[in-house]
Structure 1
């Protein structure tokens, strides 16, 4: 007979003993012929311990320990309590047991599934799921400027929405699982999309260090970095001043600078990499020599900022981050 609060089927309303939450049998993860019961929060999973041991060396070590004489039993099965959330445990076990639940990239998935599987597979050393999760996660985080510029045009992963993504959760996930190579673009997007969510970021679950990184970087990107990005519109000391083009340069710079004036209703801010777009070149009425010079200077400024992104967010450089990614996916 079960001990403690009697379990119920998932979704069925019930109340437990006073001061205790009712136990729930996980839907699709309760197998009557299996001999191990896992409890995560108030959810019970009945699965095969032998199966888990073949997939996870951590579970193999855990289940190889001698069973204490006073070990908790339920339906005659050993009960193992996990400190993980019921949601993470659910998606992790489903990814292990049901091959179609979490397929390799580019199969569709969601961020809650992806993050739960990654956290659990990292913690319990299930390499095949960890690598699969990291490929999904990395798909939304380019590591070169060229890939960044193509990302929104060529392909957007099913689980990712740049405007509404859970950036706090993504930073926490990267820190927990050592996926540091995604952090430059995560932080950059957080700065760009946080105009109306700044309070939630500052008071949220981020570590104090990451909050400071975010605040400092956002100030820099919104101010001097964006101004510097537009400096290509001015004639350089090396170039000959083209009097006929000066007026157009000034006019278009004023237009671009105006994008930086955000109101509380704005969902997104213009950061250095977006302050000037391809369509803006059509607004310029300048000679070919000036246009060629400006295009080169603008491209150099964007590349310089991209190379600095890891430094801005207090991370190793792109080469080092790339090595981390390569080793993680090897």
Structure 2
């Protein structure tokens, strides 16, 4: 059995074994971080007391996790520099591992810290959204879209739905054809796929208006069915979906008016167009932001914040 180079504390009173690696840590600190281990400490029969279950007189607990997972979980608890709160840099791989393991062992402070990392990129206020750093403090080797889809899976798995309004907005800024072609798409839970497709309904409406597609009304031909022809309605929907699938334009109303774009616009417009220009942009962006919760089934941002408090306050 190999001893961990990073976690073998001389004053440790508990040894955790996972696969071929042993970690010597402090039982009290582990119990304070994880209710699963706290419950385990309450019942001595869960901890080896006989000679075979001790190493150098220290009790042993065996985990069925991989040694890599055990190392991540324990280092996140005992190594202060390993998984710092945001905005300290981290990777999506480490973040999702911490989420999974802290959820498994009910390590509430650690779970909350991981969610705060995500909340820094998918905030609940427009001011915080505008202040998201570029590049973000969480890295992903396969780019932004793969990052968003990976987070969506985690949000669905751990019911952190208050992150969905900003998260689905970010996903909707990518062309649907790129989303459907992403390797992570097939791995998404069905509810997550439905949320993405629902969010893109706004793109359908934009394409309908821009491209002038209308449902065919056969009333002018003497048809008595005033509701319209099902066949032609079907054709119109197919045309819309086809256009959406080939649309390369990013639809990002909250980031469209960058300082550079604003200045370029001002130099090409007269006073009439520029009257209340900045105020109108601000009002439009607020309207977009206030509408985001409805795309994920919330009544408004107040309900989003209530859900957040219900999860984060418990885990505080």
TM-score by length of 2: 0.67
Q: Give the number of aligned pairs.
A: 269
Task: Provide the residue aligned with 2:33 in structure 1.
Answer: 55
- Tell me, yes or no, if the aligned pair for 1:43 and 1:86 is still in contact at 8 Å: yes
Higher helix share: 2
Is the 2:14–2:61 contact (alpha carbons within 8 Å) kept by the matching residues of 1?
Answer: no
Give the match's secondary structure for 1:300: helix
1:225–1:146 CA distance, 2 compared to 1 (3 A): farther
CA distance in 1, matches of 2:156, 2:22: 28
For 2:95 and 2:73, the matched residues in 1 are separated by 9
1:1-330 residue pairs with structure 2 within 5 A? Answer: 7=1, 9=2, 27-29=5-7, 34-39=13-18, 42=19, 44-48=21-25, 49-67=27-45, 78-82=60-64, 86-152=67-133, 157-160=136-139, 163=144, 166-193=147-174, 195-199=177-181, 200-204=183-187, 206-218=188-200, 220-224=201-205, 269-281=250-262, 282-283=264-265, 285-292=268-275, 295-315=278-298, 317-326=300-309, 328-329=312-313, 330=316
Q: Unmatched 5+ residue regions in structure 2?
A: 211-242
After superposition, what is the alpha-carbon deviation per residue over 1:65-96, rounded to whole angstroms, capped at 9, x for unaligned? Answer: 352799996665544334x5654432220011
In structure 1, the gaps of 5 or more residues are 1-6, 10-24, 230-259
Q: CA deviation at 1:106?
A: 2.8
Q: CA separation of 1:128/1:261 partners in 2, compared to 1, >3 Å: closer, same or farther?
A: closer
User: How far apart are 1:277 and its partner, in Å?
Assistant: 4.2
Q: Given the two structures, how large is their TM-score scaled by the length of structure 1?
A: 0.65
After superposition, give the CA deviation of every residue in 1:155-204 in whole Å (9 maximum; x if it has no partner): 65422467265223212322344432222222222232465342324312
Over 3 Å counting, the alpha-carbon distance change for 1:85 and 1:176 in structure 2 is: farther
Measured in 2, the distance between the counterparts of 1:297 and 1:164 equals 30
